Amino acid sequence: MCPKMGMGMGMGESESSSQMPRLNESPDSGILNERVLILVFESLNWDIHTLCRTAAVNRRLRALAKRLLWRELCLYRAPRMMSTLTEGSQSSRMIGGWNALAKLLFFCGGCESTRHFRLSQPSPGHFVESSRFSKTSGRSFLAKNCRGDVLYVSDPCEHPTGDKQDDVGIYRGVFRAFMKSRTREFLIRRQVEFEAGVKCPYCGARVWSMTAARLIPRKSAARRLGSKDGALEYFVCLNGHLHGTCWLVPLSSDEEAEEEDDDDGDIVGSDDEEYDEDADGGSCNNYGDFQVRNGRISI
Ligand SMILES: [Zn+2]
Ligand SMILES: [Zn+2]
């Protein structure tokens, strides 16, 4: 089974370590040189599963992950996206925490029914094999008067449903400097209320429904997602994380060719070169050239 993504990432887990494997916490067992640990993770291509397990070992490693390792993972696995999000200052704090951002990169949050998007049954979250995040794509999700904001959005993850022909598409994203964004300013100025019963799957904060806020440019967002016009919903949390759902329409080959032309006219200075931030979460069972045995990593 996959480890739960919340494990060791500061969301909802108990502080009790009674169920976790314990290391000998004598002074000799400390991490003498954090640089060595970073080099080990580099050699593992910053594998998300290994980092989750490491952060779950004990409080010391959990604190180290929170202070250092989640940030290093984000910078290593999505360097261009992180450079944009941090505005070049990679030592800066990340709103909502680097652990939440790491989770957003590697974990599809699944979905359940919400006020403006009805499902007959919920769909569980999961680690993703790979995701593309693009700020060009993000522009399609910004209302006209908020186009100056920088928003990265992933391609939709397809979730089959039992009772409908169409699949549900689940996508996620993150704003740069959300506290200074036009989107947040608009939400605050218009006194849009938080959505009851919905929390951010990445940081646990309260969220605004962008449908309720009337901030969804339905045509461009639906087109970008490959969705029925209007059949979508997304939320933005207090920390600028986005998560959303849509009904995906199976595309004919003609429509796919049209989509590749990217001629929707909503993109200023189209730079699809940005479509390169692969975040390969790997398979739950495939640990490549290393193994985890009894909580120890052997390369
Ligand atoms: Zn998914
Ligand atoms: Zn959040």
Each residue's pLDDT tens digit, 196-225:
999 999 999 999 999 999 999 999 999 999
**Minimal CA–CA distance to 5: which of 71, 80, 103, 128?**
103
d(Cα 219, Cα 282) in Å, to the nearest integer? 33
Ligand 1 centroid, distance to 2 Cα (angstroms)? 14
Looking at the structure, tell me whether residues 8 and 62 fall in a common domain: yes
Task: Report which secondary-structure segment, H or E, holds 231.
Answer: strand 227-237
Helix (H, G, I), strand (E, B) or coil at 53: helix
Looking at the structure, tell me whether residues 93 and 224 fall in a common domain: no
pLDDT score of 264: 26
Ligand nearest to the CA of 208: 2
Ligand 2 centroid, distance to 10 Cα (angstroms)? 12
Ligand 1 centroid, distance to 135 Cα (angstroms)? 20
Looking at the structure, tell me whether residues 139 and 264 fall in a common domain: yes
Ligand 2 centroid, distance to 255 Cα (angstroms)? 34
CB-hemisphere CA count at 13 Å for 29? Answer: 9
Ligand 2 centroid, distance to 260 Cα (angstroms)? 31
Helix (H, G, I), strand (E, B) or coil at 248: strand
Ligand 1 centroid, distance to 244 Cα (angstroms)? 11
Do residues 234 and 247 touch, judged by C-beta distance below 8 A? no
d(Cα 34, Cα 41) in Å, to the nearest integer? 11
Ligand 1 centroid, distance to 199 Cα (angstroms)? 17
Ligand 2 centroid, distance to 237 Cα (angstroms)? 5
Looking at the structure, tell me whether residues 269 and 239 fall in a common domain: yes
Ligand 1 centroid, distance to 59 Cα (angstroms)? 30
Looking at the structure, tell me whether residues 122 and 248 fall in a common domain: yes
Q: Which domain holds residue 271?
A: 111-278
pLDDT score of 165: 65
Ligand nearest to the CA of 170: 1
Q: How many other C-beta atoms lie within 10 A of the C-beta of residue 202?
A: 27
Ligand 2 centroid, distance to 22 Cα (angstroms)? 30
pTM for this structure?
0.76
Helix (H, G, I), strand (E, B) or coil at 195: coil
Helix (H, G, I), strand (E, B) or coil at 52: helix
Do residues 141 and 216 touch, judged by C-beta distance below 8 A? yes
Residue spans of beta strands (DSSP E) within 96-189: 107-108, 126-127, 132-134, 151-154, 157-159, 168-175
Ligand 2 centroid, distance to 53 Cα (angstroms)? 22
pLDDT score of 208: 98
For residue 291, the cross-strand partners are: 298
Looking at the structure, tell me whether residues 100 and 142 fall in a common domain: no
pLDDT score of 89: 79
In which residue ranges of the chain is pLDDT below 50?
1-29, 255-299
d(Cα 247, Cα 245) in Å, to the nearest integer? 7
Looking at the structure, tell me whether residues 123 and 16 fall in a common domain: no
Looking at the structure, tell me whether residues 232 and 292 fall in a common domain: no
Looking at the structure, tell me whether residues 266 and 138 fall in a common domain: yes
Looking at the structure, tell me whether residues 155 and 249 fall in a common domain: yes
Looking at the structure, tell me whether residues 74 and 159 fall in a common domain: no
Query: 241-248 and 168-175: which strand pairing?
Result: antiparallel
Ligand nearest to the CA of 94: 2
Do residues 295 and 29 touch, judged by C-beta distance below 8 A? no
Do residues 239 and 199 touch, judged by C-beta distance below 8 A? no
Ligand 1 centroid, distance to 172 Cα (angstroms)? 10
Looking at the structure, tell me whether residues 191 and 208 fall in a common domain: yes
Whether the CA torsion 287, 292, 297, 298 is positive or negative: it is negative
Q: How many domains does the chain have?
A: 2
